[in-house]
Amino acid sequence: MNEAVVIRIETPERSERVKVPYREGMTLLDALRWIKEHEIPDLEFEFSCRNAQCGTCAVLVNGKARLACEYRLEPGQEVTVGPLRHLPVVKDLAVDWSAVTSRLRPLSPKSHREWFRRMEPEKQRKLYELRSCIECLCCVAECPVIKAGSARNPGPIVLRKVAEEAEKWDESPEIDDSVYACTTCHTCAEVCPKDIEIPAKAVETVRARLYEEGKGPLPEHKELGERAVRTGRSVEKRDRSFLEEYSGEYGEGDVKAMFFTGCLVDYRLPDTGKALVRLAEELGIRLIVPREQVCCGSPLLRTGQHDRAERLAFENLETFRRVDPDVIVTVCAGCGATLKNNYPELLGDRFEWDVLDVTELLVEIRAHERGFRLPERTTVTYHDPCHLKRGQGVEDEPRKLIRSIENVEFVEMEEPDRCCGAGGGVRSGLPELAELMSDVKAHMVRETGAEVLTTVCPFCEYNLREGLERNDVEARVENLTVLLSRGL
């Protein structure tokens, strides 16, 4: 096939649209080289290895940071290319990395090679992933903290370096609170061409180390951790809790689902819990709501308080064993991600239950085919919680369900999966950063003209609601479980 590809080059100096003859296996870098040779001789861009090893060819492709040498083009495709964001542009697509890379110098005077050679093999293996960084800075271009205009996060690559260096320390040196300016949103891991798990392997590891040495986390995180262990909930109790009123058994059906409420639904957002009970009764789910359940431990794990999270996990294990459900259902992205991703590690093979987000369960029982109906025409937009989309790989199910509601006009916002700033202990520890990030989302919601902003995470819900109020955006926030139950 010989259909041309179209490359739009959008840089501070030029805006060009060039047709490039397609050839089998062509990458974006091949196309840029063709353009330089045949159309724009002074076009500037960097590359070296052409094999995803040197990191120099990173650019924005349709707004997302990618390696040009890895990005395969399809015949007839049109892509827009620009320089990486957050870095000074030297010319066209070439950027100056030094502002970030100068921060990657070793933090300890110990010789790097000497140190690595002496390290136990197991520790070396742990570090291989962190050390496979090719310094492409895709993660810096996409980190939502930096995108929101905050300088508190020095960049995921720098946090990665801090974690690597931490292995050299016998005891951690004083470290500023930049390691807490990360929402553990996993955006950096998603775009990293080397699949480096910066939030889990770097950020949370350093936070855990600081906690063990009594140097962290932030005071608000400590308070939250102590409360969770003391009371079983990470937030303070106000009125009668959802579980005090609604623990029991509801609905009939083949699937025996245990409702794991999470702290916010139990203590702050009972309507979400009630909505799930209604959905279960109407849609044929046998829902068990046990009174004895505690915080999943997510806010503690994200801030390094592992021993406390482990205690909570073992408390929950007792209930899981007693109920022995077919599936545990969550309505909080943070709980779901923790149960799916951390409990197998915390509890080993004692943890033997499937966990589903409420949207996964509803799609599995084909609730979207049955459909829902709102009495009045409503424009709805959806926010992807980080711990649902990137933490659990769930993004289609909520959309399928929203689209199945009659009288709903669904409009996507500009970046539905941009982190709102609620997670990773940022909302509790660095609230001004959480505000800055939710302000960005509020503007995106305003642009859609939506009347309802829906999501599947109570932490996002709170943060977004405040963002909308602060920015006088008229849309109201409604949990998707509540929206669906209204459409029954």
Q: Coil, strand, or helix at residue 94?
A: strand
The residue whose two tokens read 């009939």 is 252
Contact between 186 and ligand SF4 by CB under 6 A: the answer reads: yes
Of ligand SF4, ligand FES, none, which one sits near residue 52, judging by CB under 5 to 8 A according to partner kind? ligand FES
Measured from the CB atom, the residue of 159 and 388 that comes closer to ligand SF4 is: 159
Binding ligand SF4 (rule: CB under 6 A), the pick from 26, 32, 139, 329 is 139
Task: Tell me how far, at minimum, the Cβ of 103 lies from ligand SF4, in Å.
Answer: 12
Q: Which two tokens mark 451? A: 């009347």
Which residues 24-63 are close enough to bind ligand SF4 by CB under 6 A? 55
Task: Tell me how far, at minimum, the Cβ of 425 lies from ligand FES, in Å.
Answer: 34
Of ligand FES, ligand SF4, none, which one sits near residue 56, judging by CB under 5 to 8 A according to partner kind? ligand FES
Residue 256 parent element (H or E): strand 256-260
Task: Tell me how far, at minimum, the Cβ of 88 lies from ligand FES, in Å.
Answer: 20
Q: Which two tokens mark 161? A: 């370096």
Residue 450 Cα distances to 360, 413, 483, angstroms: 24, 9, 14
Binding ligand SF4 (rule: CB under 6 A), the pick from 5, 163, 166, 192 is 192
Q: Which two tokens mark 281? A: 């009764």
Residue 387 Cα distances to 307, 428, 475, 486, angstroms: 22, 17, 23, 25
Contact between 134 and ligand SF4 by CB under 6 A: the answer reads: yes
CA angle 114, 118, 121 (to 5 degrees): 130
Q: Coil, strand, or helix at residue 392?
A: helix
> Rounded distance, CA 159 to CA 186, Å?
13
Task: Tell me how far, at minimum, the Cβ of 22 lies from ligand FES, in Å.
Answer: 20
Positions touching ligand FES (CB under 6 A) are 47-50, 52-57, 67, 69
Identity at 15, one-letter amino acid code: S
Task: Tell me how far, at minimum, the Cβ of 218 lies from ligand SF4, in Å.
Answer: 15
Contact between 210 and ligand SF4 by CB under 6 A: the answer reads: no
Residue 132 Cα distances to 25, 97, 185, angstroms: 26, 18, 21
Q: Which two tokens mark 21? A: 């003859």
Specify the stretch interacting with ligand SF4 by CB under 6 A; choose among 74-82, 153-161, 164-172, 471-479.
153-161
The set of residues, in sequence order, having a beta carbon less than 8 Å from that of 1 and lying 6+ positions away, is 22, 24, 75
Measured from the CB atom, the residue of 142 and 466 that comes closer to ligand SF4 is: 142
Contact between 333 and ligand SF4 by CB under 6 A: the answer reads: no
Measured from the CB atom, the residue of 50 and 126 that comes closer to ligand FES is: 50
The residue whose two tokens read 């083009």 is 73
Summarize as ranges the residues that interact with ligand SF4 (CB under 6 A): 55, 133-139, 143-145, 153, 156-157, 159-160, 182-188, 191-194, 196, 198-199
